[in-house]
Amino acid sequence: MIRRSLLATAALAAVALPLGHAWAHAMLRGASPAVGSTGPAPKSVILTFTEGVEASFSTIWVQDAKGARVDAGPPHAVAGDSLRLEVPLKDLAPGSYTVTWHATSVDTHKTEGRYAFTVAP
Amino acid sequence: MKRLALLAAGLSGACLLAPVAAHAHGYAGPHMFVSTLIIDDPNVADEASLPTFSWQPQPTDGGPQMNLYAAEFELDKRITENFGFAVGGGYQWLTQPGNKTANGWENFYTTLKYKPYVNAEHEFMLSVGATVNFGNSGANGSNGATLDNDATDSFGPVLYFGKGFGDMPIGWARAFAITGQLGYQIAGTKLKVTGTDPDSGDPLFNNGTSNQWYGGLSLQYSIRYLSSQVKDYGLPEWVNRLTPLVELGWSSPASKPNQDSTQFIIAPGINYTADSYAFTVEALIPGNKQTGSHVGVIAQFHMYFDDMFPSSLGKPIVDWFK
């Protein structure tokens, strides 16, 4: 009986833990241009994460089909929004591009990813 | 009748020495391997499965249906970045029509796990470990025997791996990942025939057990990976957090004499990963008659301490003193 109570208490404690987050890994929630999209040439790439990220400890590379870098500066937070990082781009010609990112969340967890988008003729 | 030993096979990992730079939280590059329920994942982490509930109808040999219910836990802690240990156990109830329900603690286990290799570019992770199951640490005597607790210790090596399919040429298929586990348990006291029952003529055995092979695979499909690495279909965020998966577990005796049988279980289900916790539910489908003939269920609440408590429980022990 006592052991069952302990188990019940543990289960309740597990559920009662705060389910909202304060700390976590920053996963990519969305991007502009969108992942796998085709559209007009963007002026910048904006990545939206699930957690706040440290711009100074994060990188975003944008490369054309030949591997040449087309990003035009370091990433920065969008208008004081730590969930979004933006990197300006050079003028892009039609073709496929790859975005490679490494993010450090505000609680120092590191994540990375890579996706492609296409600039339409 | 022998209930499926897989769920009590000690799923946590083991560790050795030598750190290698890697991500915590089950990442190999951009691919995250979710925590699985039948087999252990290849990662070394600070986390807890608390609780894991399961219901598993038992093989009947033609008799009345018995049902095994269990509430289990496992706590994992890193010592260094890629070296850690885990402890686990649980409590179980075995309903027996016409008989009193047997209940008691499972034998406790500990594991050490070391993750020597992660290849981020190819989304691959490899870990090795060792497990020890402590005989008689849970319910013992006749109750323990009813609940299938071994009276002797057992120990052995385990190999784990994880591979994301990010280097596949087919876009949507890149969201798949496979993880696996292969272990060998050595009985502390080997099962031996000690005589013959004068009434039934059946062999009598000591309190030993047999060596055992065990392992399994999981096939996972990460909606998050699909949306963030392949193509954003504009799915709601809660859908992006889902990972459908199917696990296959197996165990087989590896020495003679033995009182076990080869068992298979198939567990399809779904995982929801939030920022600092995950919830998974899977069906338990017997793969052969020795495993059972009715479908059960297992569900787990999993906490990621590196996200919940990054400055304390969520960082390696060696970093506590820096």
Query: What are the pLDDT digits (tens) for B268-292?
Result: 999 999 989 999 999 999 999 889 8
pTM for this model (two decimals): 0.87
The phi-psi region of residue A108 (left if phi > 0; otherwise alpha if psi is between -120 and 50; otherwise beta) is left
Cβ-contact B147, B92 below 8 angstroms: yes
Of A4, A10, A25, Cβ closest to residue B307: A25
* Per-residue pLDDT at B21: 30
Indicate whether B86 pLDDT > 90. Answer: yes
Distance, CA of B265 to CA of B261 (rounded, Å): 13
Read off the tokens for B135: 């005989």
Of A4, A14, A19, Cβ closest to residue B50: A14
Indicate whether B20 pLDDT > 80. Answer: no
Q: Are the Cβ atoms of A114 and B229 closer than 8 angstroms?
A: yes
- Containing domain of residue B234, as a range? 6-321
Indicate whether B11 pLDDT > 50. Answer: no
Per-residue pLDDT reduced to its tens digit, B176-229: 999 999 999 999 999 999 999 999 998 888 889 999 999 999 999 999 999 999
pLDDT greater at residue A25 or residue B123: B123
Cβ-contact B3, B148 below 8 angstroms: yes
Does B100 fall in a domain?
A: yes
Poorest-pLDDT segment among B57-66, B145-154, B185-194, B253-262: B57-66
List of chain A residues whose C-beta atoms are within 8 Å of the C-beta of residue B105: 3
Residue B310: which pLDDT band, with cuts at 50, 70 and 90? confident
* Per-residue pLDDT at B124: 97
Give, rounded to a whole angstrom, the gap between the first and last alpha carbons of chain B: 53
Cβ-contact B261, B285 below 8 angstroms: no
| DSSP single-letter state for residue A42 | P
Q: Are the Cβ atoms of A7 and B227 closer than 8 angstroms?
A: no
Of B73, B237, B308, Cβ closest to residue A23: B308
Residue B231: which pLDDT band, with cuts at 50, 70 and 90? very high
CB contacts < 8 A (A, B): 90
Average pLDDT over residues A3-27: 48
State how far the alpha carbon of B91 is from the alpha carbons of A70, B105, B170, B277, in Å: 58, 4, 45, 23
* Per-residue pLDDT at B250: 96
Does B92 fall in a domain?
A: yes
Residue A116: which pLDDT band, with cuts at 50, 70 and 90? very high
Read off the tokens for B117: 């290799």
Residue B140: which pLDDT band, with cuts at 50, 70 and 90? confident
The H-assigned helical ranges of B2-42 are none
Distance, CA of B181 to CA of B162 (rounded, Å): 9
Distance from CA of B300 to the nearest CA of A (A): 11
Measured torsion, CA atoms of residues B234, B230, B268, B124, in degrees rounded to the nearest 10: -150
Distance, CA of A91 to CA of A81 (rounded, Å): 25
Of A25, A37, A113, Cβ closest to residue B25: A25
Percentage, residues of chain A above pLDDT 90: 73
List of chain A residues whose C-beta atoms are within 8 Å of the C-beta of residue B171: 36
Distance, CA of B244 to CA of B318 (rounded, Å): 36
Average pLDDT over residues B136-148: 87
Mean pLDDT of chain A: 84
Per-residue pLDDT reduced to its tens digit, B91-124: 999 998 888 899 999 999 999 999 999 999 999 9
Distance, CA of A71 to CA of A43 (rounded, Å): 10
The residues in B 60-89 lying below 8 A from A, measured between CB atoms, are 71, 73
| DSSP single-letter state for residue A106 | T
* Per-residue pLDDT at B211: 95
Does B1 fall in a domain?
A: no
Residue A96: which pLDDT band, with cuts at 50, 70 and 90? very high
Strand ranges of the sheet holding A76-78, from the earlier edge strand across to the other edge: A28-32, A44-49, A81-88, A76-78
Cβ-contact B285, B265 below 8 angstroms: yes
- A13 to chain B: nearest residue by CA? B50
Cβ neighbour number for residue B240 with a 10 Å cutoff: 23
* Per-residue pLDDT at A23: 60
Distance, CA of B212 to CA of B149 (rounded, Å): 15
Residue type, position B171, single letter:
G
Mean pLDDT of chain B: 89
Per-residue pLDDT reduced to its tens digit, A30-44: 999 999 999 999 999
Cβ-contact B186, B154 below 8 angstroms: yes
List of chain B residues whose C-beta atoms are within 8 Å of the C-beta of residue A26: none
Distance from CA of A58 to the nearest CA of B (A): 15
Residue B6: which pLDDT band, with cuts at 50, 70 and 90? very low
Residue B145: which pLDDT band, with cuts at 50, 70 and 90? confident
- Our count of domains for chain B comes to 1
Of A14, A35, A36, Cβ closest to residue B301: A14
Indicate whether B315 pLDDT > 50. Answer: yes
Of B71, B240, B304, Cβ closest to residue A7: B71
Average pLDDT over residues A5-24: 43
- B166 to chain A: nearest residue by CA? A114
* Per-residue pLDDT at B143: 84
Average pLDDT over residues A55-72: 96
Per-residue pLDDT reduced to its tens digit, B25-57: 689 999 999 999 999 999 999 999 999 999 999
Domains for chain A: give ranges and CATH numbers.
Answer: 21-119 (2.60.40.1220)
Domain at B290, CATH number: 2.40.128.130
Distance, CA of B60 to CA of B58 (rounded, Å): 6
Residue B151: which pLDDT band, with cuts at 50, 70 and 90? confident
Q: Which of A35, A48, A108 has the highest number of chain B CBs within 10 A, making it the mutation to test binding with B?
A: A35
Indicate whether A21 pLDDT > 70. Answer: no
Q: Which of B168, B228, B305 has the highest number of chain A CBs within 10 A, making it the mutation to test binding with A?
A: B228
Indicate whether A22 pLDDT > 70. Answer: no
The residues in B 258-287 lying below 8 A from A, measured between CB atoms, are 274-277
Average pLDDT over residues A37-62: 96
* Per-residue pLDDT at A60: 97
Average pLDDT over residues B162-185: 97
Per-residue pLDDT reduced to its tens digit, B238-260: 999 999 999 999 999 999 998 88
Q: Are the Cβ atoms of A111 and B23 closer than 8 angstroms?
A: yes
